[in-house]
Amino acid sequence: MSEALRHIDESTVREALSERSGCDSTVLGVLLAAGGSTRFGERNKLLAEIDGAPLVRRAARTLRDSRVSGIVAVLGHQSSAVRDALADLDVEFVENDAYERGLSTSVERGARAAAGSGVDAAVFLPGDMPFVDSATVDLLVGTFQGGVADAVAPVFEGQRGNPVLFGARHFDALRSVDGDVGGRRILLDSDGALLETDDAGTVTDIDTREDLERTRRE
């Protein structure tokens, strides 16, 4: 995928923003927090803690500390417990009763919420990615607001990561994705871009207990 999409860097984004001062487009943060944690064991991985905070809460704080205009969390597996983990944050919630059918169902619910809110774009962040830097989210937002691309994902050392931003024109397509690929096909088919970043958090997710223990030791 990285060969099919054009690559941009931080300087490109900042130059584009400087030429479009006063841009007031809105970008929603969508936290994908519905999955069943099948590879993690009996416990919901989103509720596992690093430095005293659940993974899903750390991911939510990434969005909260960025330039997104609001946050919607898509809930499914153990939704009450995940909601409680985010209770005092300024987050709205939508339920995904079909979460067992794969990530695409949560992307669909998030895209539907974004379309209903009237925002210009949305950033989709999986709840099991607790180390993404808010500055990276800001660069993705800046890529859109600067008119560089309306579909963009970060890339770290040649590996495509998350979160991924999609402009509103892609919301209908996101509501039609299938399986566990999320919006990958749409990103590839769009006039999108890959944002070069030194943020290793964009390619660090927690799928297993071994992943969790490794990050705790680092």
Model pTM above 0.75: yes
How many CB atoms sit inside 10 A of residue 65's CB? Answer: 13
Hey, CA dihedral for 185, 39, 28, 134, is it positive or negative?
A: negative
Q: Where is pLDDT greater, at 177 or 116? A: 116
Q: pLDDT at residue 113 above 50?
A: yes
Query: What does pLDDT average to over the chain?
Result: 89
Reported confidence tier of residue 214, pLDDT bands at 50, 70, 90: confident
Look at domain 6-18+25-217 and name its CATH class: alpha beta
Q: CA angle, 172 as apex, 166 and 174 as ends, to 5°?
A: 55
Please give the torsion angle defined by the CA atoms of residues 191, 186, 195 and 40, in that order, rounded to the nearest 10 degrees.
180
C-alpha 91/C-alpha 116 separation (Å) is 16
Q: pLDDT at residue 42 above 70?
A: no
What's phi and psi for 164, nearest 5 deg?
A: -125, 135
Cα 73–chain centre separation = 10
For 147-202, what is each residue's pLDDT tens digit?
999 999 999 999 999 999 999 999 999 998 776 656 677 877 777 899 999 999 99
What's phi and psi for 110, nearest 5 deg?
A: -65, -40
Please give the single-letter amino acid code of residue 79: S
Element (H, E) at 209: helix 209-217
Taking alpha carbons only, the member of 78, 193, 176 closest to residue 127 is: 78
Using DSSP's 3-state secondary structure scheme, residue 70 falls into: strand
The end-to-end CA distance of the chain, in Å, is 30
